Chains A and B, each alone.
Chain A
Amino acid sequence: MNSPWLPFIYQYSIFTIFFIFTTMIAIKKDVISLSHPTERRILFEIITGYLFFIVFHASMIIFAGV
């Protein structure tokens, strides 16, 4: 059987590249301004949400064996 972590790594490698690439474009083109508290908060929420899903899927893999 394939390792259960292989799909996890494959998915989040591609998603993370896409996520960082699009975020960097938004920052570089001044669509979001990091000097503004509201914009900074939104960016923080988006990154936190993304990390939440990574942790969620990792937890599901770990707890599947419990």
Chain B
Amino acid sequence: MIKGTVLDFAIIVCYFLFILGFGTFFGKYVKSTKDFFFGGQRFSWWLIGFSCVATTVGSYSFIKYSAVAYQYGFSSTMTYLNDWFILPLFIFIWLPIIYYSRITSIPEYFEKRFNSTTRTISVFILLVYLLGYIGINLYTIGVAFNAMFGWDVMITAILISFVCAVYMHAGGQTSVIMTDLAQALMLLSAGFLVFFLGIEKIGSISAFWKSLPYEFKLPFSPFNKPPDFNFVGIFWQDAFGSSMAFYFMNQGILMRFLSVRSPRDGRKAMFLVCLVLMPLAAFAVANAGWIGRSMQNLGLLSNSTDPNHIFVDVAFGITKPGIFGFIMAALIAALMSTIDTLINGVAAIGVNDIVKKFVPDREDTFYLKWARTISLAAAVIGVALVPLFMQFKSIYLAHGTFIAAVTPPMIVTILFGILWKRYTTKAAIYTLVIGSIAMLISIQWPSVLTLLSHGVAPEGLQYLRALYGLLVCTAVSIVITVLSKEKELSNIPGLVVDTIHEGKVLFKGGEPDDFDEGKIIHCYIAETSEGVSLSTKMMEYLQAKPGDILYIADERWWLGGLRSIHAKAGTPHQGVDNVLFLGSDLITQGNLDINRKVTVIKII
């Protein structure tokens, strides 16, 4: 049966056109590859936080988590509510390393930390990861549209990848971040709308709560059963493996945090994501399943409903024409906000790790053209991979199998690389190669996972592949490191926890001072030939010295840093206190309006 009316269909089309126009509009802010990939390192923490969540929540999230929520209850949230354990590692160690060492991709980090061979291997693994991720997202939306409108899976995939590629082609990272804000708000509000309309249909919160059994309300599934959703397997595959992969090796997320105006804002963005937005997203993507189960227990929904269709069926059953279209548009929003990040990530790796290697020292416009071309190519390859994922029994299985098979060698190499100064190049190469081979062996002969079963039945063993990979790679890393010669610390400034201070020195070009934050000042701009100059009093307020890096942004906070620039403080002037002298090139670069006030913050 085709679900939805002409009005629903019209809303979906309008949404497509809105995102296409909105995303393409930001093309005017893209003047260089730095803008295309990192949005000029100018964005506020809240914008990055929303963008990260929009990236995390793909279209597969609504379908996959609603399905497990319908079958197993509140435990469907367990993979979204536990990223907090990563925080000390991410904000104290990883964020300063990537930000201050100015790396543009994970492979580039590998070359600086180890050598060019590790870079080549990691390029290959990362491209498989990112392109596969694009493919599975397109497959999921194809399945959803097939259930709704009877459209062919491939045609849906082609249509949506085309829209994403067009606005990505124009606006790069800036378009990604700005459209992600709109899409995050949309998908969160649609998720909550489903819940409120569902409760209205059921009668009351109390009726909803009482209709659900005890096991359904537990936050974790049983320890080692059922085979397809046991706690221990999901813990290692999703809560640990996928979370680590998402924050440490996903090129899209790396670039998101490199787009932030300072590590301090990156820290705030991470707090916002883990503490507020991820719990909200967990609720938004899963509650259709809970509502569906409650409705079924109360006789309001058929017992034969397919779990994979529960999101669409519940949304259709509780909404009126128009609202259903809005919720389906949110599903598309979830997809597009994930795919655009991945496409941008592929373009970054393509340009920085492949094109620049073979065609070095060309003008930036040359690489910008390549970035745009690779964005289109990534969308095409993602579509081509859809038939591969169509062969899996379920979306959950396809997604989990793919992520667990690809990520452990990279995660372990990154973790040892940043935490252990003794970790050697030879160990990194062996970890990537032997680790990848070990993962292939476990796919071919799943019985190797039996030792780690934790009592899980054989048909659920694939969920423990991530743990197997992490253990094999850790063992290889330690043994080979002990047997090989370490790199001098002086050769890896800013790339390992021991040398973060050296990284800050290189970033600033002098001794860093990022402990004293100083105050935020608001002032007017006066155009000058070059450089930045504040009054002595303003410098005191900022606790800044000449040579410190400042962040100058349009005073309108809601722009999120879209009109802003980083610049080094020059010698203080003796003029009026609320005037900042700013070079005309910096004004143009930061898209600043000289008729408006700006805020100034000391970064380092």
Contact = CB atoms under 8 A, between A and B. Distances in A.
Contact of A30 (B215, B240, B501, B517): B501
Given A1-B215, A10-B231, A25-B93, A31 B221 contact: no
Interface in B488-541: 497-498, 500-501, 515, 517
> Which of B88, B222, B274 gathers the greatest number of chain A CB atoms within 10 Å?
B88
Contact of B85 (A1, A29, A50): A50
B149 interface: no
Interface in B81-99: 81-82, 84-85, 87-89, 91-93, 96
B422 to A, nearest CB: 13
Contacts of B224: 2
Contacts, number: 105
B271 A45 contact: yes
Contacts of B267: 42
B214 A65 contact: yes
Contact of B84 (A7, A32, A33, A53): A53
A36 B514 CA distance: 11
Nearest to B499: A29
B452 interface: no
Interface residues of B, number: 39
B274 A60 contact: no
Contact of B219 (A10, A32, A60): A60
A49 B214 contact: no
A31 B93 contact: yes
A1 B81 CA distance: 24
A38 B515 contact: yes
25 contacts: A4-B218, A4-B220, A7-B232, A8-B219, A10-B231, A10-B232, A11-B220, A14-B240, A19-B87, A19-B88, A22-B92, A26-B88, A26-B92, A31-B92, A31-B96, A38-B515, A46-B87, A46-B91, A53-B82, A60-B74, A60-B217, A61-B218, A61-B219, A63-B217, A65-B214
Given A57-B219, A65-B214, 10 more contacts: A1-B215, A6-B231, A11-B220, A22-B419, A31-B500, A32-B92, A49-B274, A60-B218, A64-B217, A64-B218
